[in-house]
Structure 1
């Protein structure tokens, strides 16, 4: 917990580029859901709203007035999103302002999550772009008052944020952003993930070129690349990230079955080994799926809380509706379903085929499916 005192700048643990701050009961409830929809922000809220899962979700609590927290956030973060009234934010940040070249972007979100307002450092600080992207992510209306602000291209550090995409590394965000803004040749290769990422009325700028494969993108010798994939890249593809950013869409569903009382550590070890073998990124895991008999399984609950993964469970009847490769009379005898990990993964991913059929390791059975974005209209 962060204790706030007059005259002292508190120590905060910065993990992500943006800070999200809430100080009311309703604001905290919204903020806890916002970080699932917009994964680029560290969440801070008052200790009196503690719910017990803050450590697992890497949420930081503070004790004292938020005014004393803001100086630390100003120093550490690229942007600050406040679920606080506009007038209060203006008064609190006024003493902290230096100049538009140095100040972070500041946004205000109303307590009901209807509006996102760009308050400070709209252009240079990126608040206007962040306003649009955060508003998309949470389903709110963006409010930008600078007359010259028009979104004309891809904001590299926020690309796909509305879908929960995350980037592998921030190392190349600035040079790739420069290539985009300077209208240099930027290749875009998408192997999976939501397809409707271009949401503006105008056509995609001519300097942004979409290629059907990595091989064709490499041949084109672009200045920079945006690669959207859930797989780990191979050695011959590393030329792409010399000036490129890899985005991880939420595209992998893990179907899990386990013996009662299996420790979280064992489940996670099996998952890590499986993803490594399949050459898939853990950052692309969208959800864990299982039978409803496991909805209170401690190891699974701890694992999904640790990684902030949704945990989907289905009744035996729902699982038996799904065609899958390896039905088992033994599993049916004990659960009422002819399988757990395979049909759970397929149902959650809305997929017809598995990337990995069920594999048992110790107390854990795992299957892997890729989300079917085509049938989801994405």
Structure 2
């Protein structure tokens, strides 16, 4: 397949991977062919004058014309773009099409001899820094990363916990808190829930990043900034710490759900929201909905799970009965073969020894809430 690149032309790409690799020189093409042969999820694009005859078999796309006209389509299509082109040329070509660091793809540049792999754009949010490390390792090249938190081996505030699925409550303070971290100011860290293995460097946590057992202790220490990890809604007094702080929501809440057949998505969602509000838990910390396998085709539950991108896991009656529960029900057993649905389902998925909410009946819905222990 050969693309003819013209100004304003809409390109029909045969995308198969997450990353596009582009080369425009003889040496660059050889390097790119080696890279894509060994790096999964990549699609290769290079100039047709370097055609070797095996491009169709290897799903390689050739192009004619200025590579600059290929980039707008690649930017909209791929998670990352790896360019074996000089850094200066890349900067000039991508400048007019940049939009926002939250949406721009990762851009990585490799020199023509494969000596250096450079993270150029969307280092953190777009994943360019990690992509740079992976490509450099494959090519036995030197990775070049200039992001302050990576260079200093400290916490990247905008990506803290992202590999576990943690999300921010608000992005408002990301920039000033990041500045406090890289400028080695006193930053308090309070973690009430979520995965503990967030420090991945082979060096100790910097002395300026101090871990506190609770929010009040952190406030009393008068830090310049704070990172707070919890599924709870903070009290008014605790919220003081967020004056220059970022609140992270770990995915730790498990909702055990039972309902009458045909219960609407709206009713299920309303019960969930009301229950979490009563518990003062964040909706953003929900990880999964669990139920009995009789409900695996319950459309209301399916719709709620899909809307919020939560896992939906179902267990057999035998699996549910294998769990000791506080509130067994003969009525539930009569209709389902299990002595409970919401409570044992929440226990099974979470592995928690006790639940935040054992069981609550509201209209057509029964709900239990567990926090995954780490």
* TM-score calculated relative to the size of structure 2: 0.71
Q: Distance in 2 between matches of 1:169 and 1:193?
A: 18
Q: Does structure 1 retain, via aligned residues, the 8 Å contact 2:258–2:366?
A: yes
After superposition, what is the alpha-carbon deviation per residue over 1:5-40, rounded to whole angstroms, capped at 9, x for unaligned?
A: 96499xxxxxxxxxxxx9634549xxxxxxxxxxxx
* 2:351 is aligned with 1:350: yes
Deviation (angstroms), 1:67: 3.9
For the residue of structure 2 that corresponds to 1:254, the secondary structure is strand
1:140-289 map, 5 Å? 145-146=143-144, 150=151, 152-289=153-290
Q: For structure 2, list consecutive stretches of 5 or more residues without a partner in the other structure.
A: 1-5, 20-68, 109-115
* Change beyond 3 A, Cα 1:348–1:66: farther
1:320-359 map, 5 Å? 320-359=321-360
- Paired residue for 1:24? 15
Deviation (angstroms), 1:81: 3.1
For the residue of structure 1 that corresponds to 2:79, the secondary structure is strand
* 2:95 is aligned with 1:97: yes
Deviation (angstroms), 1:127: 5.0
Q: Does structure 1 retain, via aligned residues, the 8 Å contact 2:106–2:127?
A: no
1:33-72 map, 5 Å? 67-69=71-73
Q: Does structure 2 retain, via aligned residues, the 8 Å contact 1:345–1:368?
A: yes
Q: Does structure 1 retain, via aligned residues, the 8 Å contact 2:119–2:128?
A: no
Deviation (angstroms), 1:71: 6.5
Q: Does structure 1 retain, via aligned residues, the 8 Å contact 2:255–2:288?
A: yes
Deviation (angstroms), 1:126: 3.3
Q: Distance in 2 between matches of 1:67 and 1:171?
A: 31
- Paired residue for 2:123? 126
Q: Does structure 2 retain, via aligned residues, the 8 Å contact 1:105–1:120?
A: no
Q: Distance in 1 between matches of 2:136 and 2:343?
A: 41
Q: Distance in 2 between matches of 1:27 and 1:317?
A: 41
Q: Distance in 1 between matches of 2:117 and 2:280?
A: 40
Q: Distance in 1 between matches of 2:118 and 2:107?
A: 5
Q: Distance in 1 between matches of 2:156 and 2:84?
A: 28
For the residue of structure 2 that corresponds to 1:95, the secondary structure is helix
For the residue of structure 1 that corresponds to 2:237, the secondary structure is helix
For the residue of structure 2 that corresponds to 1:290, the secondary structure is strand
* Change beyond 3 A, Cα 1:203–1:23: farther
- Paired residue for 2:297? 296
Q: Does structure 1 retain, via aligned residues, the 8 Å contact 2:255–2:367?
A: yes
Which has the higher Rg, Structure 1 or Structure 2? 2
After superposition, what is the alpha-carbon deviation per residue over 1:316-362, rounded to whole angstroms, capped at 9, x for unaligned?
A: 11111111110011111111110000000011001111100111111
After superposition, what is the alpha-carbon deviation per residue over 1:270-295, rounded to whole angstroms, capped at 9, x for unaligned?
A: 00000001000000001000001101
For the residue of structure 2 that corresponds to 1:178, the secondary structure is helix
Q: Distance in 1 between matches of 2:18 and 2:260?
A: 39
Q: For structure 1, list consecutive stretches of 5 or more residues without a partner in the other structure.
A: 10-21, 29-64, 74-79, 109-116, 374-378
Deviation (angstroms), 1:131: 4.0
* 2:358 is aligned with 1:360: no
How many residue pairs end up in the alignment?
300
For the residue of structure 2 that corresponds to 1:365, the secondary structure is strand
Q: Does structure 1 retain, via aligned residues, the 8 Å contact 2:190–2:215?
A: yes
* Change beyond 3 A, Cα 1:286–1:68: same
Q: Does structure 1 retain, via aligned residues, the 8 Å contact 2:119–2:129?
A: no
What is the alpha-carbon root mean square deviation over aligned residues?
A: 3.6
* 2:309 is aligned with 1:308: yes
